[in-house]
Amino acid sequence: MKLTYDPEADAAYVYLADHIADGAVQQTYPCEPDGVNGSINLDFDASGRLLGIEVLGAKAVLPAEILSKAEWPATPGTTSKNR
């Protein structure tokens, strides 16, 4: 399992599969829980297996310590020390 976080989009993605190939996601089910300042999208493959979970508005929904451990997209000049 792997977690990525894009601070510009404030979006996190939890990979439940080691690798999600292009086109592997066949269905995305959006979830907007009441009283939560964010959205969750569940990504499934053609067999109905859950591949990953996208969290929009991640700062409001996920604990800071979880986000601090996430992989960030490669951006010139960005390191784990200057996040």
Check which CATH number belongs to the domain holding 37 and give it. Answer: 3.30.390
What is the model's pLDDT at position 58?
95
The helices-and-strands tally (H runs, E runs) of the chain is: 2, 5
- Per-residue pLDDT reduced to its tens digit, 33-80: 787 788 999 999 999 999 999 999 999 999 999 999 999 876 544 444
What is the model's pLDDT at position 78?
47
Using an 8 Å Cβ cutoff, are 26 and 11 in contact? Answer: no
- Any residues with CB less than 8 A from the CB of 37 and at least 6 apart, and which? 57, 60, 61
What is the model's pLDDT at position 74?
67
Q: Give the whole-angstrom CA distance, residue 6 versus residue 68.
A: 11
Number of structural domains (the chain) is 1
- Find the domain containing 8 and state its range: 2-82
